[in-house]
Amino acid sequence: MSNSLKSTDPEIKEILRKELFRQQNTLTLIPSENYPSRAVLEAEGSILMDKYAEGYPRRRYYQGCQFVDEIEELAIQRAKKLFRGEHINVQAHSGTQANIAVYQALLNPGDTILSLKLSHGGHLSHGGCEKTLTHTHYRIVYYGVDKTSEVFNYEEIRQIALKHRPRLIIAGTSAYPRAIDFAPWRKIADEVGAYLLADVAHIIGLIAAGLHPDPVPYADVVTATTQKTLRGPRGGLIICRQKYASLIDRAIFPGTQGGPFMHTIAAKAVCFKEAAEPQFKKYQKQIISNARELAKTLNNGGFRLVSGGTDTHLILVDLSNNGITGDKAAAILEKAGIVVNKNSIPFDAQPPSLTSGIRPGTPALTTRGMKEPEMKLIGEWISKILHNPEDVSLRKKIKKDVEKLCKKFPIYEEL
Ligand SMILES: Cc1ncc(COP(=O)(O)O)c(C=O)c1O
């Protein structure tokens, strides 16, 4: 029973060591990634993993749940306070699971969902890809961003909603650099008699800190992930109006999930506690300042930014005038220890496997303690590499500089 990972499975232990080294010595600019605290990792890797607890606190289908009940109640209570939500469900295993449960709760198969096109920054779980359960079970109609401003055009969205009369409208994005005001969404939803789902998977940390418009007063249901800007464990979160509480709870269990991950729920409780601290607000402010500085540097470096800049933690860079695809850009940046993901840009001429964009974000680097001077440096490195895509020695030199910078801003020393 007491065997360590090292003695039981040295192969996995060694891969874990290599991954730690990779994380320590590269710059993570993937906006959906972060480094949770030791406390979050400790809760996630705890003996709570052993416990089955189908059902909800005080209403379980298993015995021995008195302590996991306390944990789930604490998680709910903290999330309620943090987000001022009427009802909270902390059991969704992921953001996708949270969205699926909302559809299960509010819709019938074949009902119409209005969501953002995948190529304009929507998410797979919103039905933008034919292979998803959302797409096969519901009728999906789309809105996009305005061709000129590259932000939402509410009159255009309203017209699409009036034409298709969706049962559910999703205001939510994976690659939209601007703040979203949820009031016009509510107006459109009311006009066509639709439910409004705000999927704030990416920006939930900014919302918790009061640095982004709050969807809770406007949306019938809000879904989020806890691993991105919120800096918690991988997982989903649902905030809804009291009148949908039992529909949502039943759609999670038994509707779409079995036993809750009590270890993850404990880790969520820890992250909600951390997010209520004044330090967290400072952290979120710095995420935004860092994103602005990085955006400015990239723009000065000759790159066009979709929508002209950012209000959030991420930037969408249009490389179509720079003679390089997002795919190639991400690959050569990785060779220099700079980790970004390729991303389609609105009205992209390239297929999703290549794309014309990259989507850098600052939550992980900000957790490491980096500020504006480091963002400027990193932005300049990115510019140099992308303007000289065949220069291998330049990449090697920058890789060394990246490693030096990483040493100044350590993450976990060891696991
Ligand atoms: C807007 C949005 N919704 C949902 C998700 C899904 O989250 P998960 O990967 O936890 O299923 C994401 C993930 O990136 C997202 O960006």
Q: Each residue of 123-160: pLDDT tens digit?
A: 999 999 899 999 999 999 999 999 999 999 999 999 99
Amino acid in position 200: V
Q: Does the annotation mark 163 as catalytic?
A: no
The model's pTM is 0.97
Question: Which ranges of 150-277 would DSSP assign to H, the alpha helix?
Answer: 154-164, 183-192, 204-208, 245-250, 262-275
pLDDT at 412: 84
Is the C-beta atom of 367 inside 6 A of ligand 1?
no
Q: Are 160 and 167 in contact (CB under 8 A)?
A: no
Q: What does each C-alpha distance from 73 to 15, 148, 243, 255, 277 come to in angstroms?
A: 36, 47, 20, 21, 20
Torsion angle, alpha carbons of 44, 371, 279, 361, to 10: -50
217 and 195 Cβ atoms separated by less than 8 Å: no
Q: Is the CB of 32 under 6 A from ligand 1?
A: yes
Residue 262 CB partners (closer than 8 Å, separation 6+): 48, 49, 51, 53, 68, 71, 72
The Cα 283–Cα 381 span in angstroms is 24
Question: Distance from the CA of 124 to the center of ligand 1, in angstroms?
Answer: 8
Ligand 1 center to 204 CA (angstroms): 12
Q: Give dist(CA 127, CA 52) in Å, integer.
A: 32
Three-class DSSP category at 199: strand
User: What domains, with CATH codes, occur in the chain?
Assistant: 41-275 (3.40.640.10), 278-408 (3.90.1150.10)
Distance from C-alpha of 48 to C-alpha of 392, rounded to nearest angstrom: 48
Count the residues in the chain: 415
AA letter at 279: Q
**Residue 228 Cβ < 6 Å to ligand 1:** no
Cα 272–273–277 angle (5° rounding)?
A: 110
What is the position in ligand 1's atom list of the atom closest to the CA of 200? 1
Bridge partners, 28 (sequence order): 339
CA 138, CA 132: separation in Å to the nearest integer? Answer: 10
- Cβ–ligand 1 contact at 172 (below 6 Å): yes
Dihedrals phi, psi of 188, to nearest 5 degrees: -65, -45
Closest CA to 305 of 201, 364, 297, 144: 297
Q: Is 176 a catalytic residue?
A: no
Residue 175, ligand 1, Cβ within 6 A? no
Instruction: Give the nearest ligand 1 atom to 173 CA.
Output: 1
Question: Of residues 52, 69, 304, 401, which has the active-site annotation?
Answer: 52
CB 69 within 8 A of CB 225: no
Active-site annotation holds for 407: no
Decide if 69 is catalytic: no
Edge-first strand order for the sheet with 342-343 is 304-305, 317-318, 357-358, 342-343
Atom of ligand 1 nearest to the CA of 174: 16
Coil, strand or helix at 313: coil
Contact 43, 266 (CB under 8 A): yes
Marked catalytic residue, from 44, 72, 150, 199: 199
Residue of 26, 28, 96, 225 with catalytic role? 225
How far, in Å, is the centroid of ligand 1 from the Cα of 301?
Answer: 31
Q: Give the active site residue among 51, 228, 268, 342.
A: 228
Give the mean pLDDT per block of 10 residues along the chain (415 residues): 88 96 97 98 97 98 98 98 98 98 98 96 94 96 97 97 98 97 98 98 98 98 98 98 98 98 98 98 98 98 98 98 97 98 97 97 98 98 98 98 97 74
Is position 250 annotated as part of the catalytic site? no
Q: Which residues contact 150 (CB under 8 A, 6 or more apart)?
A: 306, 307, 308, 346
Ligand 1 pocket, 132 CB below 6 A?
Answer: no
Task: Indicate whether residue 202 lines ligand 1 (CB < 6 A).
Answer: yes
* The pLDDT of residue 1: 65
| Catalytic annotation, pick one of 42, 54, 380, 391 | 54
Confidence at residue 365, expressed as pLDDT on a 0 to 100 scale: 98
Give the pLDDT of residue 299: 98
Beta bridge partners of 140: 113
Which of 120, 180, 197, 225 maximizes ligand 1 atoms within 8 Å of its Cβ, making it the mutation to test the pocket?
225
Give strand ranges (E) for 30-167: 55-56, 59-60, 87-89, 112-116, 139-143
Q: Is 96 in the pocket of ligand 1 (CB under 6 A)?
A: yes
Predicted local distance difference test score (pLDDT) of residue 415:
59
Let me know if 54 is a catalytic residue.
yes
How many Å apart are CA 240 and CA 198, to the nearest integer?
10
Pairing of strands 168-172, 112-116: parallel
Q: Which atom of ligand 1 is nearest to the CA of 172?
A: 1
